[in-house]
Chain A
Amino acid sequence: MSVLKLHPEKCTGCLRCELACSYMQTGEYQPAKSVIRVSPFEGHTSYAPYTCPQCAEGWCMTACPVGAITINAVGAKDVLDDKCVGCKLCTIACPYGTMFYDPATRKAFKCNLCGGAPACAEACPTAAITYEDVATADWLGDFAVERTARVLAEAR
């Protein structure tokens, strides 16, 4: 299956992916409703996008008491709105912090790879997010180690 490959060194922090994602997922241009989240590193001199890696276990899916999370045609874990009761169990079961909850609709939501045409990857002007047929991986770990060296030194 294809997954979102993240290239943090290319991210400029422009947040276009968040806008595209929120519009695709909720119909609103509202970064607070995006399921891809851009975070600053090194005091806002570098940035990285972060989203659901579509993990093999699918902790969100196996935790859901009503079977409201399924695997869609492109292999992404996807919330079925009419089944979700809004109990939030998936939000604490996902150990990556990539399950979201919309208080307005009382439904959980997450990255569903836009059914195969991810809006974030399309919107990114620097190709910091690509949609590729590769195994999911920890795209940000090494980058974060390097770009947090200073803040970490100050914390001692």
Chain B
Amino acid sequence: MAARHLVIGGGTAGMNAIRTIREEESERSSITLVSAERPYSRMVLPYYLDRSIAESHVFTATGKVLADWGVTAHLGKRVTALDTSASACTLDDGTTIPYDDCLIATGSSAVRAPVPGADGRGVHSFWTLDEARGVIAQIQPGSHVVMVGAGFIAFTILNSILSLGAKLTIVEIAPRILPRMIDDTGAALVQAWLKEHGVAVRTGAKVARIEDVKGRRRLKFAAGGDLVCDVVIMATGIKTNLEWLKGSPVKVNQGIVVDEYLRSSVPNVYAAGDVAEGRDLISQKAAVHAIEPTAQEHGRIVGANMAGKNVRYRGSLIINIVEVCHLDVASFGAWDDTGAEAASSVKADRPAYRKLLWRGDRLTGAIILGRSSDIWTVNDVGMLKGLVQSGVSLGRWKAYLKKNPFDVKPAFIAAKTTSTLLPETVLGRPSKAPGETPVAV
């Protein structure tokens, strides 16, 4: 069994792997972590931005915790090369670290739209803690913020910007918002909801350049109509952090190609999280999800396998939720499967929409929109996830749900979804609580 584990990247996947190694191993091994940043959770940054939590709250392991877990940490250091034949990596300070097995979990970075001025003063990305610090210092009550890009990440920080008392305009090159999270109908409802809540949205708008005018930013559009603002946030996409792996035999497609144990093409090198092309639970095809729950599952599976277990990876389900001014917007699984049978329904009297997608009598995807204060929306969100995740055969309930997509619970219970789900675990055993990680003595 591997005695020296190397974990590259201390984000979600890396930290889940480290904890799971300690939970699963039969003999104490050595773990070395190299991470360009201190371990923290990126998806908590919006709550730091709106000042509902202190900066210290974003960290997932302090130096003391890493020491308790017996982790040798090189923080603030980058891996610049991986020599798989020698089983060693090189850091940016020249240090070489040998390993018996290694996990690549270097995540992604924000990419800015290639327009002149995109790197200028007052133009920000919002992906790392450093970038979040930059943004938080710039937004005051009354500031005008322009968000370029209307994807999922833009929406995760939308409430925070509004709660800081800023005025927000969203600019999107595509004809609609949230293209990779909900369908056209859902997007139109969210766009109307945003307008009602004072957020201006310009779709089909191509930014031609960003200029600095007397300390403010001017966005020029291809079709004309300038916009002057205080802060620009570019949420125009992400890319995997894998440049440093160039020249190594680790096979990379959209992400690192992995087998059903999350091993790369090099047997003692694993990949997890945003950089890994793991299996999608519904399509059973390789896919880069770039979401938190997939990074967690990847990390835990790899941790168990590095500890000598042989845990097969079933695949992860895409799940997303954002709250937009007290409207919950969520989607699951293959919500965009054009080959699926679909049924949808919009409530005329309130902002509520559901779309259910089927393959045979199994639910394979779902979109759900409803007020956050509506307790049934919250419960149905979970039950729809359960129906998609379990893939239970719904039989005659399919016809019922197609007619009554707002009445999920009787179908969920009568299809005995609970019986199917209860034996399901990611690691083949009950999960341990976050505080239960064995510490070094």
Partner-B contacts on A (CB < 8 A): 32, 37, 39, 41, 48, 50, 53, 55-58, 61-67, 69-71, 83, 85-89, 91-101, 103, 106, 136-138, 140-141, 144-145, 148, 151-152, 155-156
Contact = CB atoms under 8 A, between A and B. Distances in A.
A94 B332 CA distance: 12
A88 B422 contact: no
Given A61-B431, A63-B293, A100 B44 contact: no
Contact of B332 (A64, A83, A92): A92
Contact of A57 (B410, B426, B433): B426
Contacts of A37: 375, 379
A85 B44 contact: yes
B439 to A, nearest CB: 15
B430 A57 contact: yes
Nearest to A61: B431
B372 interface: yes
Contacts of B166: none
A66 B412 CA distance: 30
A71 B433 contact: yes
Contacts of B321: 88-89, 91-92
Given A57-B426, A65-B12, A155-B399, A141 B431 contact: no
B403 interface: yes
A154 to B, nearest CB: 9
Contacts of B330: 92
Decide if the interface of chain B is mainly helix, strand, loop or mixed.
helix
Interface string B189-232: 00000000000000000000000000000000000000000000
B55 to A, nearest CB: 13
B419 interface: yes
Interface residues of B, number: 67
B425 interface: yes
Contacts of B319: 92-93
A103 B373 CA distance: 6
Given A88-B321, A97-B378, 9 more contacts: A53-B418, A56-B425, A56-B430, A67-B435, A85-B57, A88-B323, A92-B385, A96-B383, A97-B379
Contact of B41 (A53, A66, A96, A156): A66
A100 B396 contact: no
A91 B381 contact: yes
Contacts of A99: 378, 382
Nearest to B330: A92
Contacts of B44: 65-66, 85, 87
Interface of B: 12, 41, 43-44, 46-47, 52-53, 57-58, 60, 292-293, 296-297, 300, 319-321, 323, 326, 328, 330, 332, 372-373, 375, 378-383, 385-386, 389-390, 396-397, 399-400, 403-404, 408-410, 412-414, 416-419, 421-426, 429-436
A95 B414 contact: no
Nearest to B404: A155
Contacts of B58: 66
Nearest to A58: B431
Given A57-B430, A57-B431, A141 B418 contact: yes
A93 B431 contact: no
A94 B422 CA distance: 12
A97 B386 contact: yes
Contact of B413 (A32, A57, A95, A144): A144
B41 A65 contact: yes
Contacts of B414: 141, 144-145, 148, 152
A81 to B, nearest CB: 12
Given A92-B332, A94-B385, A144-B410, A87 B43 contact: yes
B413 A96 contact: no
Nearest to B384: A97
A41 B410 CA distance: 8
A97 B387 CA distance: 10
Which 9 residue pairs are nearest across A and B when measured between Cβ atoms?
A95-B386, A97-B382, A67-B434, A97-B383, A155-B400, A141-B416, A138-B418, A144-B414, A65-B41
A136 to B, nearest CB: 7
A97 B419 contact: no
A70 B436 CA distance: 9
Contact of A97 (B323, B381, B404): B381
B410 A136 contact: no
B382 A92 contact: yes
Contact of B410 (A83, A89, A91, A148): A148
B273 to A, nearest CB: 13
Contacts of B400: 151-152, 155
A62 B332 contact: no
A25 to B, nearest CB: 13
Q: Which of A32, A61, A97, A99 has the most C-beta atoms of chain B within 10 angstroms of its own C-beta?
A: A97
Contact of A98 (B52, B379, B396): B379
